Structure 1
Amino acid sequence: MRAPDPTTVPIEDRAALEALAVDLAQAAGALVLDERPDRTVVHHTKSTDLDVVTVMDTRSERLLRDRIAAVRPDDGILGEEDGHTSGSSGLTWVLDPIDGTVNYLYDLPAYAVSVAVVVGDPTVPGAWASVAGSVVNPRTGETFSAHAGGGARLATRGPGGPRHTADLAVSGAADLEGLLVATGFSYDREARVRQAATVAHLLPRVRDIRRMGAAALDLCHVAAGRVDAYYERGVSAWDVAAGVLLVTEAGGRVSGASPDSPPSGALVVAGGPAAHRALLEALAGA
């Protein structure tokens, strides 16, 4: 299956969609940060008892949906909490209202709001491509963003200070033994047994492994060269739609289990071109 071409959207529209994604992600990020209760409680669970949802997840997605409906009523929306709403424009917004909900529960500073807009069908692996997107970490004040063909950026702002923007570029690391690799684990306990075996296979062969608990941020860290590569099984489109674009626009590669397969719930592998290739080969041996 050939993914649709995001550059069929005019370049000026792609840039405007990036700006809108930034505004949306920052607004939702401010909500989840400023109104986080002192003691955050689980609202309900989803796939397993480990897959938690907080009240703020649902409030954040509602804010995003309401704002998109107000300014782009013809676009579709796919959100982690409220599912898929079809549109007529050919564009669909893909939303993760809090990526890293368990970190949010424990007040660990590694959670984010991820907002992307795609062409094609984001419910089918390989049938969509990101046009623009943004990932905001409200605890660090970092805003990652990109649009297709326009590069990837990181905007930061300290307390009371001016915002600084820098272009992103992936790491040039090439050898497997020198790679710092990020990964994540499933909420399914049986799947974790298999994932632990993969980690046991990789750990002696790479520089080290990091598990930070938010797939969108892991991909941002690849784009920024903070880690050399990333892999994970069990992710959904809302986890990666913005991050995949950030990595590719920063000069990296993202795929599934083979170089030409699309990222999917079966596997996502990302990195600089050489790191991506080395990690793919190592995972094949696992």
Structure 2
Amino acid sequence: MTEVAQSGAIADRLALARSLADEAGAMALDFFNRRETLVIETKKNLQDVVSIADRTVEEMLRAKVAEAFPEDGFLGEEYGQTEGTSPFTWIVDPIDGTAPFVNGMPTWCVSIAVVRDGEPVIGVIIVPCLNELYVAAEGFGASLNGKVLTLDPARTMQNGLTGIGSNSHVTPEKVGAIVTALMANGGNLIRNGSGALMLAYVAAGKLVGYYEPYMHAWDCMAGYCLVKEAGGHYLPFPADQQGITKGAPVIAAGPGARDDIWKLADV
């Protein structure tokens, strides 16, 4: 595929991703507004929950992508991977931050990414409760509600906030050591329950960095594209077909905090 053809292929998929984000965001917000009626199930433990909203939104996204680009692969949190014949795979988390969602907090989002041969080339994250739409694509830059995002190298771990993620895959001792190292180096932390949203915050300069020792591709690929296109750095996710369905460390940072954030992974 020529460079011009690749750019056109990305543009076509970006247009669909933005449209789907609006549709998925509206659908998820409707579920959120009547969340007391939803059936909530647990996965690995009582903190790891899933609702009918997650499944319904992913089913819609799968169907619309399959209709528009039947040759593309698809990987979603709820229903796994469907391999395609093109270089492109859609990677979706229908509701990232299900725990905040079911508990009535606004820090959840719909995350839609497209990767080409394992590299994120499109990232769209919509935050319905906050009316925020983050959009990025290779060669197109990154934006928040249409405003171009460009990271400031003067923002560091010491003068900004760092996002830290944790889950049942990571021991309490490990999380404690990360927090201790961060604060000992003059940093401060936040955790809002959505890794995808905190990566979007890195791209927007709201956070100077984000680290979670274990995440899945559907949690990070859209955010990674946003961070890259805003001028930040990220730790590449395993790109092979087997690795992309498993978890891996996720690190992202703006240029002024990169070295300090990366050191947290050595704790």
Using structure 1 for the length normalisation, give the TM-score.
0.84
Written as runs of structure 1 = structure 2, the 5 A alignment for 1:1-286 is 10-36=6-32, 37-39=34-36, 41=38, 43-120=40-117, 128-155=118-145, 165-173=146-154, 175-188=156-169, 191-255=171-235, 265-284=247-266, 286=267
Q: 2:251 is paired with a residue of what secondary structure? A: strand
How many Å apart are 1:282 and its aligned residue?
4.3
Between the aligned residues of both structures, percent identity stands at 36
Instruction: State the Cα deviation string for residues 204-231 of structure 1 (Å, max 9, x = none).
Output: 3233101111111111101011111111
How many Å apart are 1:38 and its aligned residue?
4.2
Distance 1:182 1:109 in 2: 17
Distance 2:199 2:35 in 1: 29
Using structure 2 for the length normalisation, give the TM-score.
0.89
Task: Answer whether contact 2:233 2:253 (CA < 8 A) is retained.
Answer: yes
Task: Answer whether contact 2:72 2:87 (CA < 8 A) is retained.
Answer: yes
Distance 1:208 1:40 in 2: 37
> Partner letter of residue 279 of structure 1?
I
Q: Relative to structure 1, is the Cα distance of residues 15 and 94 closer, same or farther in structure 2, using a 3 angstrom cutoff?
A: same
How many Å apart are 1:140 and its aligned residue?
1.0
Distance 1:282 1:134 in 2: 27
Task: Answer whether contact 1:21 1:134 (CA < 8 A) is retained.
Answer: yes
Task: Answer whether contact 1:53 1:101 (CA < 8 A) is retained.
Answer: yes
Task: Answer whether contact 2:199 2:227 (CA < 8 A) is retained.
Answer: yes
Q: Relative to structure 1, is the Cα distance of residues 280 and 59 closer, same or farther in structure 2, using a 3 angstrom cutoff?
A: same
Task: Answer whether contact 1:256 1:267 (CA < 8 A) is retained.
Answer: no
Task: Answer whether contact 1:170 1:223 (CA < 8 A) is retained.
Answer: yes
Q: 1:35 is paired with a residue of what secondary structure? A: helix
Q: Relative to structure 1, is the Cα distance of residues 102 and 171 closer, same or farther in structure 2, using a 3 angstrom cutoff?
A: farther
> Partner letter of residue 221 of structure 1?
Y
Instruction: State the Cα deviation string for residues 16-41 of structure 1 (Å, max 9, x = none).
Output: 21121111122111001023324155
- How many residues in Structure 1 have an aligned counterpart in Structure 2? 260
How many Å apart are 1:105 and its aligned residue?
0.6
C-alpha RMSD of matched pairs (Å): 2.4
> Partner letter of residue 174 of structure 2?
R
Distance 2:134 2:201 in 1: 10
Task: Answer whether contact 2:89 2:114 (CA < 8 A) is retained.
Answer: yes
